Amino acid sequence: MSTAQIAFLKGHGTENDFVIVPDHEGRIELPPADVARLCDRRAGIGADGVLRVVRSAAHPEARAMADEAEWFMDYRNSDGSIAEMCGNGVRVFARYLEHAGLAEAGDLAIATRAGVRRAHIAKPGPGGEPGDVTVAMGRAVLPEGEVTVTVGERSWPARNVNMGNPHAVAFVGDLADAGNLYTAPAVAPAVAYPDGTNVEFVVDRGPRHVALRVHERGSGETRSCGTGACAVMVAAARRDGADPAVTGIPVTYTVDVPGGRLVISEGPDGTVEMTGPAVIVAEGVFDASRLPAVG
């Protein structure tokens, strides 16, 4: 990363927070160590991840999507590793584009490593508060095979759900059963998740209303995970005998996360939509030379 001052913003979606780095022409290098330095909550800016904003035509991984989506979300976990998708990140990314005058309320397309995601920014409320952002998250893939999640001496069966990134969804009696989620729960068999996985622990709150805690691969426990909420909704719907592809009837669940509330719907065509808030809370500049090494 250059030692010159670099503009950044800070935003969050249900308290899943991100450092946003506008790099429209793709000129800023973000090695993993520098991402980790930015995300360090004591010595850096602090975040669950980094969203680099690049024109699709300027990024080699996104050029093929440039005709569909002008902007590419280059997402990195807080440890610097690359992730395929981040649902809350897409909402915050869309909010940044609106904030910067690069998009307006309404529909827009965003390129990600999991493909193009369609978003809708609602108009501001009567008090001027930002409208919620809805993201079409694609279709869930439900790989075959049994999966088990273990914390300490306790184990639970889990549902393998892929939302562009992998998830293991376990239904438990109490969210405290998840224990300390700063370290990754054990998931077996390992072959089910060759690149690791996000793990969600879920309890019921009422009819079509669940709550979760999550360990995000590469970040530890976070206040929210958008793709995780979608995976949980699909797993809960199948557990409850609801499959819109079979019934032709859309299904909607309320999903509470530690940082707020999301509304997740699945349509008969299998498309999962997530609706929730996205907020820009600060902006400024940083000098990479002032960020101490991590680790």
Backbone dihedral angles phi then psi of residue 281, each to the nearest 5 degrees? -110, -20
- Do domains 5-132+278-290 and 147-275 share one topology? The answer is yes
* pLDDT, position 1: 53
Distance, CA of 93 to CA of 259 (rounded, Å): 18
Distance, CA of 16 to CA of 262 (rounded, Å): 12
Residue 88 assigned ligand-binding role: yes
- Three-state helix/strand/coil letters over 141-186: ECCCCCEEEEECCEEEEEEEEECCCEEEEEECCCHHHHCCCCCCCE
Per the structure block, which two tokens stand in for 236? 């809960």
Distance, CA of 49 to CA of 19 (rounded, Å): 7
* pLDDT, position 289: 72
Provide the residue ranges of all domains of the chain, joining segments of one domain with +: 5-132+278-290, 147-275
The answer, as to whether pTM is greater than 0.75, is yes
Residue 165 assigned ligand-binding role: yes
Residue 15 assigned ligand-binding role: no
* pLDDT, position 170: 98
Per the structure block, which two tokens stand in for 207? 């009819």
User: What is the 8-class DSSP label of residue 291?
Assistant: S
* pLDDT, position 292: 57
Beta bridge partners, 222, equal 214
The residues annotated as belonging to the active site are 86, 225
User: What is the 8-class DSSP label of residue 190?
Assistant: G
Residue 216 assigned ligand-binding role: yes
Task: Please check whether the domain covering 5-132+278-290 is classified as CATH 3.40.50.1260.
Answer: no
Tens place of pLDDT for every residue, the chain, 295 residues?
545 788 999 999 999 999 999 999 999 988 999 999 999 999 899 999 999 999 999 999 999 999 999 999 999 999 999 988 899 999 999 999 999 999 999 999 999 999 999 999 999 988 888 899 999 999 999 999 999 999 999 999 999 999 989 999 999 999 999 999 989 999 999 999 999 999 999 999 999 999 999 999 988 999 999 999 999 999 999 999 999 999 999 999 999 999 999 999 999 999 999 999 999 999 999 887 776 555 5
Residue 162 assigned ligand-binding role: no
Q: Architecture of 147-275 per CATH?
A: Roll (3.10)
Per the structure block, which two tokens stand in for 160? 């393998």
Distance, CA of 177 to CA of 172 (rounded, Å): 7
Residue 226 assigned ligand-binding role: yes
Beta bridge partners, 154, equal 151
